[in-house]
Structure 1
Amino acid sequence: MDVPPDPVRCDTDQAHVQVSSVTNGDCPGGNGRTYWRYKTTNLCLTRIFHVGYCVLGKGRSNSVELGTFTLVDCKATRIPVEYDYVLHITGVYRAPANASSANCRRSQNDSTDYRAWLVIDDSVLLCTMFYRNA
């Protein structure tokens, strides 16, 4: 039977998922949220993103779907077949109004091909760049 891993502090680089609540009912949904059911109890989970880590993406390069709850070694030689890209997290910011990938630029002349997602109730802007194709 699956059981949750041992806890770590949420403010460490080892934390990638936070239990945001425990309920017998429904958990909030959306990008960056999910749940883990154990018997009759739902653990409501919120994803914690860290700059420098990598996640997975799938789809065409102009329409990439984020594997929100994935985590992968950036230099992994193999990734699950359902994914097409390793994405390097370059920024995790409080989402500004009208957030877009332009908010991910590190300087005025930065021409990096960023991909940006609004996660966790659209409150967090997650910036990534392509690390490599599968």
Structure 2
Amino acid sequence: MACNCSSGSLTCCKDQEYVQDKVCMPWAGEVPTGAAAVVTVSVYTNNFGQNLVATGYLQYDSGPEPITVQAIGANNTVIGTPITLTPGTSTSFTFRRFNELQVILPVAAAGEGPFAGEFCATVRYPLA
């Protein structure tokens, strides 16, 4: 029988060991009065390398305006379509090969009060 390591068949594939970690934490941010640009809150930074996979959620508990959630990949490019959340909502995600997960606070909310929520992710990466 021939070896086949395609996604549909895993016969004769080399064993790999993966590490899985879960991280949960509150996030918060404010847009200062008179701000001329959006405020970016980095909720997670990948310091493991390009083989990282993360599954989780971002909860937006309170704030004056909708926010945007986005994953940033190589060369600071946005991965996929940014997700817009309104206060009291959340989104789940699975991202692969990303460098950073960001919450973007709108400039329209300058001086209107704090934004807050919770970020939780389970990250997996192969042992080298």
TM-score by length of 1: 0.25
